[in-house]
Amino acid sequence: MRAEILAIGTELLLGQIVDTNSAWIAEQLAASGIDCLFQTRVGDNVERIVEALETALGRCEAVVTCGGLGPTQDDVTREAIAAVMGVALRRDPALLAGIEAIFAARGREMAASNARQADLPDGATPIPQRRGTAPGLICPVGDKVVYALPGVPDELHEMLKRAVLPDLRRRAGEQAVILSRTLRTWGISESRLAELVEPRIEALDAAGPGAPTIAFLASGIEGIKLRITVKAAGSDDARAQLDEEEGRLRDLLGEAVFGVGDETMERAVGEALLRRGRTLALAESFTGGLIASRIVALPGASRWFRGALVAYATPVKHELLALSDGPVVSAEAAAAMAEGVRRLLRADVGLATTGVAGPDPQEGLPPGTAYAGVAVGAAPAEGLALRLSGSRERIRQIGSISALDALRRRLLAGA
């Protein structure tokens, strides 16, 4: 079965409220094996809502609307659905009595406008409220259906789970599950990623309907994500398909994949250190404590994180980290800082950053010039150039993740 989501409210179009309802509904539909192919937003206007509903019903079997069921004059979802059904609105006495009882139980006088929430398109079935006052609606349109839900998230969530999803599954007949898994990558451009994954996408397209799908998701400063989606008869089968597809992508991308789902770069580093029984110390210059802040946000980081030194001023680098004379923004300086902080904090591994965050050049070096230092085991400490650009904040944020990634790759290499 195919469904479409229609979010109603002029405030959504003006950007005054972020539409989180559609994303949540789509997630619930997928978990029930219902394909969601379109999501639309429309303002509080009867004609435009009617147009959006008719368009949606022309390309799917079910529409889930959210918003526009309140008591005010701009809540016109009921009127629009009645127009699409070709029926009149009627006031349901039982619904009206229930709304009046809700206000009485709260010790409040009900405004006359609240009675509008008891209006139903003829032939519609109400979804009783358990948390608010506006009932939802199940509205047949020929052999298709429109579900109307309140825009208040907790009311919407309860109604969708209690009434809409069971009805959708019954109408769909065939039971299915749609699951997704997201792989997180770093240190590889989107174009190169697409190039590496292209043969696999072509193979899946050639396999036809029912094959897993792969999508690219840009995520700002947190890297590029690959989302795998599968549809199967049951959860076990779906997870097995996800496992297989994840394995294929990891073979293609190698160490560029650092995590799954919400796993962060610092978590990947922490797990690598724990597996090796090693501890970490940080010396941060241009990142100014951002790496340490990311690490200490992880529960249990104290098992592997010794501490950090923000060595921002040049004299601190010399006095505490035993830097020799020479440029402080260099591969050699980064390596010396990593070795110095490892020794100072008695850790097994040292990680350091030094660079120019901008906006002005430093020592003749342009903003974005930066290095990560890594000291692991008995091997000499290493300084690695980081390729950074953008605003001062972006350079610091990207530099933090890039430095952690440099350490992660060094640990994966067996250091």
Q: What is the CATH number of the domain that holds 197?
A: 3.30.70.2860
pTM for this predicted structure: 0.77
In terms of domains, do 116 and 195 share one? no
Q: With cut-offs at 50, 70 and 90, classify the pLDDT of residue 234.
A: confident
Domain boundary among 216, 243, 260: 260
Q: What is the mean pLDDT of residues 226-244?
A: 93
Work out the percent of the chain whose per-residue pLDDT is above 70.
Answer: 100
Say what the pLDDT of residue 233 is. 86
Structure tokens that stand for 315 in this block: 């004299």
| Residues 204 and 273 reside in one and the same domain | no
b/e map 263-273, b = 16+ CB within 10 Å: ebbbbbbbebb
Residues 194 and 321 in one domain: no
- Of 172, 204, 239, which marks where a domain is finished? 172
Q: Report how far residue 91's alpha carbon sits from residue 112's, in angstroms, rounded to the nearest whole number.
A: 13
In this structure, are 41 and 128 located in the same domain? yes
Clarify whether residues 73 and 107 are in a common domain. Answer: yes
Q: Render pLDDT for 240-281 as a digit per residue (tens, 0 to 9).
A: 999 999 999 999 999 999 999 999 999 999 999 999 999 999
The CATH number of whichever domain residue 347 belongs to comes to 3.90.950.20
Q: With contact defined as beta carbons under 8 Å apart, do 282 and 274 qualify?
A: no
Given the DSSP bridges, would you call strands 35-42 and 2-8 parallel, antiparallel or unpaired?
parallel
Residues 229 and 131 reside in one and the same domain: no
Contact 25, 8 (CB under 8 A): no
* Number of domains comprising the chain: 3
pLDDT in tens, 33-47: 888 999 999 999 999
pLDDT at 363: 87
Mean pLDDT of 330-339: 97
CA 63 to chain CA centroid, Å, is: 24
With cut-offs at 50, 70 and 90, classify the pLDDT of residue 239.
Answer: very high
DSSP state of 324: P
Average pLDDT of the chain is 95
Tokens 């990891």 found at: 250
CATH of residue 14: 3.40.980.10
Average pLDDT over every residue of 145-173: 95
Residues 56, 60: Cα–Cα separation, whole Å: 6
Handedness of CA 381, 407, 329, 192 (dihedral sign): positive
User: How does DSSP assign 159-172, residue by residue?
Assistant: HIIIIIHHHHHHHH
Residue 30 in this model has a pLDDT that exceeds 80: yes
> CA 259, 265, 271, 272: dihedral to nearest 10 degrees?
100
pLDDT reported for residue 58:
97
pLDDT per residue over 284-306, tens digit each?
Answer: 999 999 999 999 999 999 999 99
**Nearest in space to 97 (alpha carbons), one of 122, 115, 79:** 115
Helix (H, G, I), strand (E, B), or coil: what is residue 227? strand
Residues 94-140 have pLDDT tens digits of 999 999 998 998 899 899 999 999 999 999 999 999 988 999 999 99
* Structure tokens that stand for 351 in this block: 């990680």
* Domain match, 299 and 192 both: no
Same domain, 38 and 182: no
What range does the domain containing 282 cover? 265-412
DSSP state of 243: H
* 71 contacts 114 by C-beta, under 8 angstroms: yes
Q: Is the pLDDT of residue 345 over 80?
A: yes
Residues 18 and 128 in one domain: yes
Domain end call among 126, 148, 172 = 172
| Mean pLDDT confidence for 66-88 | 96
Q: 248 and 295: one domain? A: no
Does 190 share its domain with 238?
yes
> Is residue 156 within 8 Å of residue 19, measured between CB atoms?
no
Domain co-membership, 382 together with 308: yes
Are the C-beta atoms of residues 345 and 321 closer than 8 Å to each other?
A: no
pLDDT reported for residue 415: 67
What is the structure's pLDDT at 72?
92
Task: Give the per-residue pLDDT at 174.
Answer: 67
